[in-house]
Amino acid sequence: MSGANGAPAAELVVDLDAYRENLRVLRELAPASQQMAVVKANGYGHGMVPIARAARDAGADWLGVARPEEALALRSAGDDGPVLCWLETPGAPFAELVEAGIEVTASSAEQLEEILAAAPSRPRVQLKVDTGLSRNGARFGADWSALVRAASRAQESGRVQITGVWSHFACADEPDNPASAEQEAVFIGAVDELRGAGVEPGLRHLSNSAGILTRPSAHFDLVRVGIASYGIDPDPAVRFPGVRPVLTARARLAQVKEVEAGARVSYGYRWTADHPTRLGLVPVGYGDGLHRTASNRAEMGYAGRRVPVRGTICMDQCVIDLGELPARRGDLVTLFGPGDDGEPTAEEWAQAAGTIGYEIVTRLAGRWTRTYRGER
């Protein structure tokens, strides 16, 4: 959406140079491992294709996505490097994925058989073991053993190439939680069982962003860098030195008005002015991905100052209290960014909304204009 002069009414500015630098910094933390840049969920809200291209520029060995349509979209955009897809439902386009050279994930013996039945040629498949997160993956024990047997039979008959085995931490963003050590031990046991069945595991990977910092012993052959590559820490307890937020969300004031003491603001009148003040109308709301729970709690940046959100965040708009700051229609306000000009960060918005930084950036949808800096 744009204003009358063509300037975007609401804009997401994506700093691709910052993203590349973040990947470089993260590579230094796991120099002996390959790096997978995770670009699922539209590149965590940043725009999957431009982010993927920047990741390749930065030397990322792999791209990782959740769903088949994401992987195929990367191929349609011209990416021809290694891509792993891991969340396929029954009837997924396995033939198309295999023909496109995309590696797929088998999370059960049944799913491996579905992949083999659909594949027009020998597929490259990674096996996922559930080491304790209880999401996708064959649960270690009987389910994992069944998948191992199926993989061994398929490999012996020349029907499959097993290229990796992997899992995902549940609590790596809690440095003192013993669950991570337990999961790592289970993962090692799963790899040993696979080898015992005559199947070489290929790439072994367990670490997500948080695990890169908190579990160096779990770097194995590859690490998957997700939220940290976008400059957002997985948790206040896990801080990545040297990474910088990639995304700045900003908008132009749609209206500025003076109100008297006693003026009530937005749905439910959840805020009332206790003195005369100046209000600014920001043309974004929960329909654009803002959290309604941040009403009366979040702040934005304007003219180098923090200004509070007043009243309930609406579907298309929200109100900020400019106080005595001079302002006019069309002026820029920054919802969040790297903090260079005093604006809040995505993590601060997460605190205001009672959620995590991941959700702040991945929910941004619909009517934003994305602008990319540092494209090559």
Q: What is the pTM of this model?
A: 0.96
pLDDT above 90 covers a percentage of the chain that reads: 96
- How do residues 267-286 score in pLDDT, each as one tens digit? 999 999 999 999 999 999 99
- Report the pLDDT value the prediction gives residue 366, as an integer from 0 to 100: 82
Sign of CA dihedral 193, 195, 201, 204: positive
Q: Please indicate, yes or no, whether residues 215 and 273 belong to a single structural domain of this protein.
A: no
Domain count, the chain: 2
DSSP 270-318: -EE-SS-EEEEEES--GGGT--GGGTTT-EEEETTEEEEEES---SS-E
Known catalytic residue at 128: no
Size of the chain, expressed as the number of residues it contains:
376
Asked if the model's pLDDT at residue 63 lies above 80, the reply is yes
pLDDT above 70 covers a percentage of the chain that reads: 99
Question: Pairing between strand 161-166 and 203-205?
Answer: parallel
Q: Is residue 284 part of a domain?
A: yes
Q: Please indicate, yes or no, whether residues 226 and 274 belong to a single structural domain of this protein.
A: no
In this structure, are residues 104 and 126 in contact, taking their beta carbons and an 8 Å threshold? yes
- Report the pLDDT value the prediction gives residue 177, as an integer from 0 to 100: 96
Asked if the model's pLDDT at residue 56 lies above 80, the reply is yes
Q: Please indicate, yes or no, whether residues 282 and 134 belong to a single structural domain of this protein.
A: no
- Report the pLDDT value the prediction gives residue 1, as an integer from 0 to 100: 54
Residues whose CB falls within 8 Å of the CB of residue 292, separated by 6 or more in sequence, listed in order:
286, 312, 313
Q: What is the mean pLDDT of the segment spanning 141-146?
A: 99
Distances (CA, A) of 173 to 64, 188, 211, 227, 341: 20, 20, 7, 12, 29
Distance CA 94, CA 205 (A): 23
Element (H, E) at 256: strand 255-259
- Report the pLDDT value the prediction gives residue 2, as an integer from 0 to 100: 53
- How do residues 287-298 score in pLDDT, each as one tens digit? 999 999 999 999
Q: Please indicate, yes or no, whether residues 160 and 303 belong to a single structural domain of this protein.
A: no
Q: Is 306 annotated as a binding residue?
A: no
Q: Please indicate, yes or no, whether residues 116 and 223 belong to a single structural domain of this protein.
A: yes
Residues whose CB falls within 8 Å of the CB of residue 6, separated by 6 or more in sequence, listed in order:
none
Angle at 280 between CA 274 and CA 283, to 5 degrees: 135
Q: Give the domain-ending residue among 230, 262, 279.
A: 230
Asked if the model's pLDDT at residue 68 lies above 50, the reply is yes
Asked if the model's pLDDT at residue 300 lies above 90, the reply is yes
Q: Please indicate, yes or no, whether residues 255 and 364 belong to a single structural domain of this protein.
A: yes
- How do residues 344-373 score in pLDDT, each as one tens digit? 999 999 999 999 999 999 999 889 999 999
Element (H, E) at 257: strand 255-259
Asked if the model's pLDDT at residue 302 lies above 80, the reply is yes
Distance CA 281, CA 322 (A): 10
In this structure, are residues 281 and 310 in contact, taking their beta carbons and an 8 Å threshold? no
Known catalytic residue at 40: yes
Q: Please indicate, yes or no, whether residues 185 and 75 belong to a single structural domain of this protein.
A: yes
Q: Is residue 303 part of a domain?
A: yes
Q: Among 32-46, 178-192, 228-242, 319-333, where is mean pLDDT lowest?
A: 228-242
Q: What is the mean pLDDT of the segment spanning 169-198?
A: 98
Q: Please indicate, yes or no, whether residues 132 and 187 belong to a single structural domain of this protein.
A: yes
Asked if the model's pLDDT at residue 144 lies above 80, the reply is yes
Q: Please indicate, yes or no, whether residues 322 and 295 belong to a single structural domain of this protein.
A: yes
Distance CA 263, CA 274 (A): 8
- Report the pLDDT value the prediction gives residue 4, as an integer from 0 to 100: 47
Q: Is residue 305 part of a domain?
A: yes
Q: Is 315 annotated as a binding residue?
A: yes
Confidence bin at 236 (pLDDT 50/70/90):
confident
The CATH number covering residue 266 comes to 2.40.37.10
CA 219 to chain CA centroid, nearest Å? 20
Q: Is residue 17 part of a domain?
A: no
In this structure, are residues 209 and 171 in contact, taking their beta carbons and an 8 Å threshold? no
Ramachandran angles phi, psi of 151, nearest 5° = -65, -40
Q: Please indicate, yes or no, whether residues 221 and 295 belong to a single structural domain of this protein.
A: no
Q: Please indicate, yes or no, whether residues 177 and 321 belong to a single structural domain of this protein.
A: no
Q: Is residue 345 part of a domain?
A: yes
Q: Please indicate, yes or no, whether residues 221 and 283 belong to a single structural domain of this protein.
A: no
Q: What is the mean pLDDT of the segment spanning 149-174?
A: 98
Range of the domain at 183: 32-230
- How do residues 118-127 score in pLDDT, each as one tens digit? 999 999 999 9
Distance CA 166, CA 244 (A): 28
- Report the pLDDT value the prediction gives residue 6, as an integer from 0 to 100: 76
| Candidates 40, 44, 128, 230; catalytic one | 40
- Report the pLDDT value the prediction gives residue 90, as an integer from 0 to 100: 96
